[in-house]
Structure 1
Amino acid sequence: MDSKARPQILEHLQKSLTVTIYDTRWLPCSAKFVALGAYARNTGCLQVFELDGVNLKLISETEAPVRLKCGTFGASSLRERHLASGNFDGHLQIWDLEMPHRALTTASAHKGLLNCIDGCGGQFEGYGPPELATGGKDGCLRVWDIRQPHTAVAAFEPAASDQARECWAVAFGNSFNDEERCLLAGYDNGDVKMFDLRMNSVRWQANVSNGVCGVQFDRQDIEMNKFAVTCLESVFKVYDARTQHPKRGFESLTQKAQAASTLWGVKHLPQNRDVFAVCAGDGTLSLYKYCYPDQRQIKDANGKAMGVAGTVELLSEKTLSSQPIAAFDWSPDKAGLFCCAAFDQCVRVGVVTKLQNL
């Protein structure tokens, strides 16, 4: 791609805070985003910011009893836009941001830290029930229907407590109708597992040799196409999920990032599933494009179908902070607009330009 046509990552706004932020999420159909984290006194912080021209306004702030780790709007309708969050005591909570002084619902989800959360099915009918998935330090992965949020509707637990590996990342996918739905989970020992929620079983698993910090399908509401996995030691993998071989599973490519640090997470651009951002521990944000192979499926020696992995192209990168980018989210409404937070106690709003050239 010609250098003049390449996307550029621009920082639009930056705001210094007195709190540590662990997650940021855009409020759908708005110019607002939430920041979840902790005050120095070890209580939870839920802040709502709004873009106002060249300013970033703090429009509400709530202090929760326990530090907040992660959040999602994925299981809520566009009318309610309720936030689901996980905290350091293992609680799953649901918040009405119009009345954020107290959580609408609190459920005990995990023993210890609730590390990760994802939501699915809340915004459109025909793609399954509104559900949340949570992963914890206890090694458990649980699925919750927000219409009855006090009891998990599915649970995948280690065989024994001494075999538990901490679950660091979770993501829904393959939810293209009211029956099918899969769940990806990444663990601290490098395990990546795909659970079939219709069959309530493990569909596929692999080990990527490094702790898994982020997982994401390129789209939740389509038949599986591909998914990305980010790891410790500056490595990420992209799997072709169109074809699952009975022995080899999903074919993948492995990419060493230029940043020699942990890759904290991956987020696909909502408006283009082949473009994704990778957040690094040295404060670098990198933008990649997945390039499909000429053939996506071939036959092995026994005539069994197997997938073919593509390649990735680095489109742009920018150092936003001297500290790890711990939180990142694309705007679902404005292509290229993003919010993020690093451990320098700043939230940032940025934009990626020239996406129309891709």
Structure 2
Amino acid sequence: MSTPLSKPQMIVHIQKSLNYTVFDSKWIPCSAKFVCMGNFARGTGVMQIYEVQRGDALLIKEVEKPKPIKCATFGATSIQQRHMATGDFDGNLHIWDLENSQCGLFLISYNDRWTSFGFFMTGHAFNEQDRCVCAGYDNGDIKLFDLRNMSVRWETNIKNGVCCVEFDRKDIDMNKLVATSLEGKFHVFDLRTQHPTKGFASVCEKAHKSTIWQVKHLPQNREIFMTAGGAGNLHLWKYEYPRQRCKKESNGVEVGVAGTVNLLQNVTVSTQPIASLDWNTDKRGLFLCSGFDQTVRVLIVTKLNLV
């Protein structure tokens, strides 16, 4: 019998107020440090590096930049280098050495700003040749681009603007994709079986009463993921596979079968939207979030090894 205490609990471990609007925050790989970025009220950008020590986050470095910084990733670097890529509101892509954050290693300038479409994510990188990019658009379109064949592999429309898309794993044969949207809904697509006309099987869940800004899968268990809403709430979900992930139609063509999603826990940590989420890859259950209340939080999720 399930009891409230037997479920995973989400506990705010550290809460740090900031003097700027924070757009993104990321754990620095293989460390107890994280980086936050955003913009000051005077219109300049800022990066701050914090270190978790004895239940507090200590500021160890702050750098001000000419342009506000929108987003960041460590996805294209090795664990040894830990170079961070950032995008700013002027359409520039920078790659930074955080040991010397005054100096950018690389810069690419674009004419368009980073707000052209909702979100994009790479995946299907299980060998040296195959790569896919999934993009979500503000008109509800989701498109899966095959970079090997330079073609659109699949597309659909979920009727609401797409805020975030994420593969459950980037470096495996495509398994699942979660797309979040306006109106508080998210969709989980099973990517293992693609029907010629029906596409991928999916399940839709009305999860929040407001926009779902972010989704992040737990690195240690790809069936568990977190969604962040516009009302400052966090929802923890688990995807359950069906007994058979595909079946044959009368004409012999295979079609996918969607599973179900179960809510494990939810908590409200703010009155403002949560703009970023990031799980720690080294410590299961430790994650970082920041929102438009100018606050960054470190939370702990318990009992993830039991669900």
Name the residue aligned to 1:70: 71
Q: Which amino acid aligns with 2:60?
A: I
Name the residue aligned to 1:274: 223
Cα offset, 1:77, TM superposition = 0.8
Name the residue aligned to 1:249: 199
Distance 1:350 1:279 in 2: 13
Name the residue aligned to 2:281: 332
SS of the residue corresponding to residue 37 of structure 2 reads strand
Distance 1:212 1:59 in 2: 36
Distance 2:112 2:132 in 1: 24
Q: Is 1:226 matched with 2:227?
A: no
Q: Is 1:237 matched with 2:238?
A: no
Query: Aligned ranges for residues 92-107 of structure 1 at < 5 Å?
Result: 92-107=93-108
SS of the residue corresponding to residue 216 of structure 1 reads strand
Distance 1:298 1:82 in 2: 45
Q: Is 1:173 matched with 2:86?
A: no
Distance 1:194 1:202 in 2: 6
Q: Tell me, yes or no, if the aligned pair for 1:5 and 1:357 is still in contact at 8 Å.
A: no
Name the residue aligned to 2:18: 17
Distance 2:131 2:107 in 1: 25
Name the residue aligned to 2:292: 343
Distance 1:329 1:182 in 2: 22
Root-mean-square deviation (Å): 0.9
| Aligned equivalent of 2:144, options 189, 194, 200 | 194
Name the residue aligned to 1:89: 90
TM-score calculated relative to the size of structure 2: 0.98
SS of the residue corresponding to residue 309 of structure 1 reads coil
Name the residue aligned to 1:287: 236
SS of the residue corresponding to residue 98 of structure 1 reads helix
Query: Aligned ranges for residues 151-166 of structure 1 at < 5 Å?
Result: none
Q: Tell me, yes or no, if the aligned pair for 1:326 and 1:343 is still in contact at 8 Å.
A: yes
Name the residue aligned to 1:131: none
Q: Which amino acid aligns with 2:306?
A: N
Name the residue aligned to 1:2: 2
Name the residue aligned to 1:322: 271
Cα offset, 1:110, TM superposition = 4.3
Q: Which amino acid aligns with 1:15?
A: K
Structure 1: gaps spanning 5 or more residues:
116-136, 138-166
Q: Is 1:55 matched with 2:56?
A: yes
Q: Render the CA deviation track for 1:106-156: whole Å, top value 9, x for unaligned.
A: 1113412x14xxxxxxxxxxxxxxxxxxxxx2xxxxxxxxxxxxxxxxxxx
Q: Render the CA deviation track for 1:323-354: whole Å, top value 9, x for unaligned.
A: 00001100011101011101010010001000
Q: Which amino acid aligns with 1:170?
A: F
SS of the residue corresponding to residue 77 of structure 1 reads coil
TM-score calculated relative to the size of structure 1: 0.84
Instruction: Write 1 or 2 for the structure with the bigger share of strand.
Output: 2
Q: Which amino acid aligns with 1:306?
A: V
Q: Render the CA deviation track for 1:65-114: whole Å, top value 9, x for unaligned.
A: 100000000000111100001000111110000000132221113412x1
Distance 1:58 1:306 in 2: 52
Distance 1:109 1:339 in 2: 30
SS of the residue corresponding to residue 265 of structure 2 reads strand
Greater RCO structure (CA 8 Å; 6+ sep): 2
Q: Render the CA deviation track for 1:166-197: whole Å, top value 9, x for unaligned.
A: x1111111100111111111000000000111
Q: Render the CA deviation track for 1:233-285: whole Å, top value 9, x for unaligned.
A: 0000000001001111101000001x210000100000000000000000000
Q: Render the CA deviation track for 1:171-230: whole Å, top value 9, x for unaligned.
A: 111100111111111000000000111111110000000000010000001111111000
Distance 1:66 1:226 in 2: 36
